[in-house]
Chains A and B, each alone.
Chain A
Amino acid sequence: MNSNAIEIRGLIKKYAGFQLGPLDITVPRGAIYGLIGPNGAGKTTAMNMIFGLGRNDAGAIRVLALDHRADEVMLKQIASYVSPDLNFQVWGNVGRAIRFVRGFYPNWDDAYCTQLMQIFQLNDKDKIAALSFGAKTKLGLLLGLSRRPEVLILDEPTTGLDAVSKQQVFGELLKTVEDGERTVLISSHNLADIERFADHLGMIKNGKLLLEGRTDEIVERFRLAEFFTENGTAFPTYEGLTILKRDQNRWRALIDQQTGVQNWLQTRGAKDVSLTRLTLEDLFIALAKEERAQ
């Protein structure tokens, strides 16, 4: 059995003025995989491609070994997509939206659906137009989770949710993956939540994958370095080095410890190098800035 739930290989999607990819993403089975990146990086596009919301120009996508085009219907039976952009409003009330979606899934778990309705405080008779933004997001989650998908793909699922609701959502996601068989791919701008809940991470920027791996390993791999140099010192571009700020002879930089850049800095005259551990948010901001040494 394939140990990966989602495999994206050489994915390319071209738009006027933007190209996603070539993109390779590997989501291990049973993982909560956080896909992060600045606005417009291509996260939603990548997720859309999995579900055929537009056609990729190149590359292959496989979900539990199913090809996203050839096995489209099977793939959608075992995977569910949750996004605030899905429109349920035409169904009028919550009960009718549930009834419509449930009809597509023989494995629909009605008991779990009822349980989630209680947790999310939703009722059959609630008018969807009258729901708050957060409640609409919860409805999307309810519809996504109640079909008991093997792969759950969530695009910004916590947008508009208050702290308590977010806790409920992540609580349910953790329950979903606790048997080790189900997989969650989640994109979010809430990096504290991603760091806490996602065990794997991928970061996209300008349509390209910058980083991928276990969240703890990625956070451990990078350090914020502060050091001093003599007057006039400059640093050429070096792999694993991102200069964040220079204040005369005082420097702040993001370093990738895997590349040996720390030793290289010292050979180039860096003194008093101090390293600080970063949060995922610090790392995201630093990588998003993209200021390279000259």
Chain B
Amino acid sequence: MKRIILDHLERWYWAWLLYGIAYLIIGALFLHDGKLVQELTIFFLFWAGVYQLNYDLQQRHLAALVTLPVTSAQIGRAWWLVSVGLPALLLAATSGVGLYGRDYFQHTPFPTGLFVENSVINTCYLAVFFFVLIALPNRRPHGAKEYFEAIGLGGLALCFMTETLRFQKAKADSPEMIIFFLTGTLFTIGGWFSAGQLVIRRKSFGPLQPHTHKKELTRSTSKKFGGIPFFIATRIFQTALITFVVDAFLGAVVLANEGRPFNFNSDFIFLVNANIGCLCFLVVLQGMPFLKQLRLLRTLPISATRLAVLSVALPLLLCLTASIWPTAIAIPTEGITKGLEIPATFAACGAFLTLCIPIAIVLDFNQLAMFAVYFSMTFGMAMFEFWLMPKTPLPLGLAAAGLLILLSFFFTKKCLENSDNAYRIWPNPAGAGWK
């Protein structure tokens, strides 16, 4: 177990260092006054906790570990420590130093209650993320049982997070907070004790049902359109579907709490206004598969220029697609002018997202690349949505977005033509041999 933890720290020390510095600053500047946007904290905790393990699992880390003389329980607990225990300690220590530093210079008493409460909330989040990551099937669910489990776990995590947002202004001894802490504690302790079982369960998620010969050949594709139009149509359809589900959930939460499904002045900034979660889903569910396809796409009769156009157009199209549902809900309640701010903001985020592909290619899809893409995209989009777009005149915003798109196109085209990195062979998380 010690070796697994040390190996993890050796590979990810720089990320931990980054999180430590970031949380020190957060502790010193924001925690004391409660100015921190709680929704962004959730993203930060995802990074500081489970992201590294998730990346390793995508690289078939478990398949390598199971061949070593360690038990599943040892693997599971090592993972729990690097994803929950140690990050919780790191964040507690750095936020404590940050708070203490601020209080020292401002001659105010150290807010012990706030510090403890914040550390416990962080630990609960880390534990939930860990539990959900390890318990979810490591490939697309297959069969009713797996779908039910995946939806149940994902829904539980989502409810946990949205309820936290709802209770963020509640008092520490309110029933809501007690329920939150109890649930979080259950995940924390349950994660530690069931870590071994979760690893065994994860190992047992093999590939889907093996291919079996069928007597009757079914062909249904003979006359339908294909190629790039099919590619784009598929992505747009999937995006519309995913964002519909997410937005329906978010709308229901806001409706239950505020009496209408959309409210620009809502306390639920993340849920209502920004919808970064939706866009992050897009990066993971649509962006990564596109990168994995580059090798195939380059062998097809499509020039590097057209492929670069596609690379840049796709995030924009998908972001605009993602804006359809919130816009449709917002216009009747908020008016057309305010409603149309949503697609404009999403398009601006899309322009920012177009940078993902050249960044990932230039950095050769390594852990730093993935880190840079996810991290910078999440916080970059948040900056766009929370700070830049509301304060920027529309023409200036459009010009900035246009410039970003042009830059992305230029770099993507250069990468596709000149770099070998774009055509690396990706590990296949759902392929044969993956555990």
Contact = CB atoms under 8 A, between A and B. Distances in A.
The answer to whether A binds B is yes
Interface of A: 15, 48, 51-55, 72-74, 76-77, 80-81, 85-90, 95-96, 98-105, 110, 114, 117-118, 121, 123-127, 129-133, 135
Contacts of B432: 132-133
Contacts of A51: 298-299
Given A54-B423, A87-B428, A114-B219, 14 more contacts: A52-B304, A52-B417, A55-B418, A77-B301, A81-B299, A86-B296, A98-B221, A99-B224, A100-B231, A117-B219, A124-B220, A130-B211, A132-B210, A132-B211
18 contacts: A53-B298, A54-B423, A55-B419, A76-B300, A81-B299, A86-B299, A87-B293, A87-B295, A99-B224, A101-B300, A102-B221, A110-B222, A114-B219, A123-B218, A124-B221, A125-B218, A129-B208, A130-B207
Interface of B: 139-140, 207-211, 213-214, 217-222, 224-231, 234, 289, 292-293, 295-296, 298-304, 417-420, 423, 425-426, 428, 430-432
Nearest to A110: B222
B234 to A, nearest CB: 8
Nearest to A118: B217
A110 to B, nearest CB: 6
Nearest to A85: B425
B223 to A, nearest CB: 9
A118 B215 CA distance: 9
B214 A100 contact: no
A95 B423 CA distance: 24
Contact of B423 (A53, A126, A129): A53
B209 A102 contact: no
Contacts of A81: 299
Kindly name the residue among A15, A87, A127, A130 whose own CB sees the greatest number of chain B CB atoms within 10 A.
A87
B213 to A, nearest CB: 5
A63 to B, nearest CB: 12
A53 B420 contact: yes
Contacts of A77: 301
A102 B226 contact: yes
A77 B300 CA distance: 8
A127 B304 contact: no
Chain A to chain B: the 8 pairs with minimum beta-carbon distance, closest first: A103-B227, A103-B226, A54-B420, A130-B208, A76-B301, A53-B423, A90-B289, A81-B299
A73 to B, nearest CB: 5
B401 to A, nearest CB: 28
Contacts of A99: 221, 224, 226, 230
A117 B299 contact: no
Contacts of B230: 99-100, 103
